């Protein structure tokens, strides 16, 4: 018989166990750092930041901010910019657009301006942890099929700002975020993580992803570099063809798109009031907006049918009932009905395409925060200073 | 010893578990209590130890339930029959039922395994 040794039971493994290293030398080293988890949807136009402590479901920070950094121009008189700061972010940068050089850190879903990206990451950290004392671990969404270079770009931007990171494809995070955890065990609930097809239309890319109860392989994901920004560009070109020298900025065009975007048959006349050169004008934009948005459908539809074709045959009937559109593109009027009708017209069995809903800007970040809370200690990547 | 008791219970061998608990384990616990200066303190520590062991065994069983289907999928993907069929693409696991035991961390593990395979 072996002898029984009484010893103090080991303390439960804690996510906050790693050494509390202060990432930024300029940040005061805390006596004992707490861990803060961030779910980050780093978008080309807008980013969503959710934060909360490990081991709970609390969300302490929830913000959607334009992904833009404004570097104050030289020679700006003292007091014009609050606090005379040199860098502004998000809405504040846009408000001060006359006085700053606006830089978008991302293009087509990947980091295009590394310095601005680092500044933006610092801002994310500041929003999530104003005290600067927490050890930050972030799960960051990346476009489906993001290559190693794109991933490395994010890691470099976060180095010295977050202590640990995990990069996960956005459509899968959207499915996790969309999943209603309180209903997963209910018999009638169709868990989106078990069998669904997510279409995440952002600014830089449209990502489609089969989510079927395992982590999607590369073959289950298609990323199309045609999304909100491409629609803006197309509307801009169409406007300039019909109304040369209209003087509208790309930002104004984006605002027009956000207010009037639609797909399907032409909705002429679509009269839009704009101010050009200080004078109010009415422009008819039915074709310009419709053509640009319908071009998105033409890009997405082949990818959608390709993914349906690649799904296991006995899963397709249920899958067709669970096609979900999220991201900013889900706000395009009629996008769900047009895709659904196109599938039905092509003979697919009772397809059902639906919109993710009002929280479309937050699902990726919500999924990222859930992943951060569930990640095992050895799954995090450590960002060394 | 208490871990062994928990294992026996988890395997449905509760008779054996009870016998062991009442004989070997009870004797060992008594011995430990006698060696300790404070009886209540020894009892508390013993209780904590048993709770810890019980949790470890439950966690190990849950982990095995997750791991077994994953290994089975991986082995199937590597089987000679598959190679003969000429399917060289990555394996696509079976669709899981809605209430399977897998958690988000298991999905992350799959993602990391895919990343590792892709970088080889």
Nearest to B49 by CA among A1, A12, A13, A7: A7
Complete DSSP assignment for A153-190: HHHHHHBTTBSEEEEEEHHHHHHHHHS-GGGTTSTT--
Give residue A21's pLDDT: 34
* Chain B nearest-CA residue for A220: B92
pTM: 0.70
A4 and B42 in contact (C-beta within 8 Å)?
no
Distance between CA atoms of A103 and B85, rounded to whole angstroms?
A: 52
pLDDT of residue B65: 52
The segment with the largest mean pLDDT, out of A138-147, A303-312, B21-30, is: A303-312
* Residue range(s) of every CATH 3.30.420.40 domain in chain A: 185-226+301-359, 228-291
Total domain count, chain B: 1
Model pLDDT, residue A75:
83
Model pLDDT, residue A350: 93
DSSP string, A52-71: E-TTS----EEEEEES-EEE
Residues of A in contact with B69 (CB under 8 A): none
From chain A, pick out residues whose CB is under 8 angstroms from the CB of B105: 374-376, 379
Residues of A with Cβ-Cβ distance to B94 under 8 angstroms: 213-214, 312
How many CA atoms within 13 Å lie on the side-chain side of B35? 12
Determine whether domain A185-226+301-359 maps to CATH 3.30.420.40: yes
Fold adopted by A228-291: Nucleotidyltransferase; domain 5 (3.30.420)
**Reported confidence tier of residue B44, pLDDT bands at 50, 70, 90:** confident
Mean pLDDT of the B72-89 span: 41
| pLDDT over threshold 70, residue B57 | no
Mean pLDDT over A238-259 rounds to 89
Q: Is the CB of B108 less than 8 angstroms away from the CB of A371?
A: yes
Looking at per-residue confidence, does A315 or B6 come out higher?
Answer: A315
pLDDT one-digit tens code per residue, A310-355: 999 999 999 999 999 999 999 999 999 999 999 999 999 999 999 9
Q: Which residues of B touch A184 (CB under 8 A)?
A: 98-99
Candidates A4, A168, A217; nearest CB to B90 = A217
pLDDT for A164 beyond 50: yes
Instruction: Calculate mean pLDDT across residues A111-122.
Output: 97
Give the mean pLDDT of A120-124: 98
Q: Indicate the pLDDT class of residue A379, thresholds 50, 70 and 90.
A: very high
| Residues A211/A307, Cβ–Cβ less than 8 Å | no
pLDDT band at A84 (very low <50, low <70, confident <90, very high): confident
Q: Do B111 and A312 touch (CB under 8 A)?
A: no
The alpha-carbon radius of gyration of chain A (Å, integer) is: 23
> Domain span at residue B80?
2-119
The pLDDT of residue A190 is 83
Q: Which residues pair with A274 in a beta bridge?
A: A281
Partners of B28 on chain A (C-beta within 8 Å) are 1-4
Q: How far is A3 from chain B (nearest CA, A)?
A: 6
Cβ contact B108–A168 (<8 Å) = yes
Evaluate if residue A178 carries a pLDDT over 70.
yes
Average pLDDT over residues A222-230: 93
Report pLDDT for B68. Answer: 54
- Confidence (pLDDT) at B8: 67
- The pLDDT score that the predictor gives to residue A156 is 96
In angstroms, the Cα distances linking A383 to A54, A109, A135, A137, A154 are 19, 21, 12, 10, 11
Q: Give the percent of chain A with pLDDT over 70.
A: 92
**Which residue from A minimizes the CA distance to B90?**
A217
pLDDT at B15: 63
User: Sorting pLDDT into bands at 50, 70 and 90, what band is B28?
Assistant: confident
């Amino acid at each position: 018989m072996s002898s029984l040794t009484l010893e103090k039971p080991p303390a439960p493994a804690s996510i906050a166990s790693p050494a509390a290293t202060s990432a930024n030398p300029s940040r005061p080293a805390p006596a004992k750092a707490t861990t803060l988890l961030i779910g980050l949807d780093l978008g080309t136009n807008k980013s969503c930041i959710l934060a909360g402590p490990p081991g709970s479901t609390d969300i302490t920070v929830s913000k959607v901010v334009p992904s833009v950094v404004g570097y104050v121009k030289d020679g700006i008189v003292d007091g014009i910019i609050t606090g005379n700061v040199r860098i502004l972010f998000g809405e504040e940068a846009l408000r001060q657009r006359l006085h700053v050089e606006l830089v978008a850190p991302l293009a087509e879903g990947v980091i295009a301006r590394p310095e601005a990206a680092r500044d933006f990451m610092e801002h994310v950290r500041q929003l999530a942890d104003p005290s600067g004392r927490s050890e930050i671990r972030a799960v960051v969404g990346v476009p489906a099929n993001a290559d190693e270079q794109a991933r490395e770009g994010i890691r470099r931007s976060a180095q010295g700002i977050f202590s640990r990171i995990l990069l996960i494809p956005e459509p899968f995070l959207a499915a996790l975020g969309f999943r209603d955890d309180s209903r997963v065990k209910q018999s009638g609930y169709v868990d989106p993580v078990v069998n669904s097809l997510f279409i995440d239309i952002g600014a830089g890319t449209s990502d489609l992803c089969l989510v079927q109860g395992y982590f999607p392989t590369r073959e289950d994901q298609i990323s199309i570099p045609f999304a909100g920004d491409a629609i803006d560009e197309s509307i801009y070109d169409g406007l300039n063809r019909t109304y040369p020298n209209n003087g509208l900025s790309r930002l104004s065009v984006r605002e027009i798109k956000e207010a009037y975007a639609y797909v399907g048959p032409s909705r002429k006349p679509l009269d839009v009031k704009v101010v050009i050169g200080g004078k109010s004008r009415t422009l008819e934009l039915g074709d310009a907006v419709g053509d640009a948005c319908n071009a998105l459908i033409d890009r997405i539809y082949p990818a959608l049918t390709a993914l349906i074709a690649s799904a296991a045959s006995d899963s397709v009937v249920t899958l067709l009932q669970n096609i979900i559109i999220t991201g900013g593109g889900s706000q395009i009027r009629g996008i769900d009905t047009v895709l659904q009708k196109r599938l039905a017209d092509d003979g697919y069995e009772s397809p059902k395409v639906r919109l993710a809903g009002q929280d479309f800007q937050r699902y990726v970040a919500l999924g990222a925060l859930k992943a951060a809370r569930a990640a095992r200690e050895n799954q995090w990547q450590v960002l060394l200073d | 010893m208490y871990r062994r008791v928990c294992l026996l219970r988890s395997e449905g061998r509760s008779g054996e578990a009870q016998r062991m608990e009442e004989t070997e384990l009870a004797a060992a616990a008594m011995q430990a209590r006698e060696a300790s200066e404070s009886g209540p303190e020894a009892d508390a520590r013993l209780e904590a130890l048993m709770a810890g062991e019980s949790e470890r065994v439950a966690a190990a069983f849950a982990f095995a339930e997750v791991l077994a289907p994953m290994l089975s999928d991986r082995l199937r993907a590597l089987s000679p029959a598959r190679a003969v069929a000429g399917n060289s693409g990555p394996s696509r696991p079976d669709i899981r039922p809605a209430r399977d035991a897998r958690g988000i961390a298991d999905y992350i593990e799959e993602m990391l395994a895919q990343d590792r395979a892709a970088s080889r």
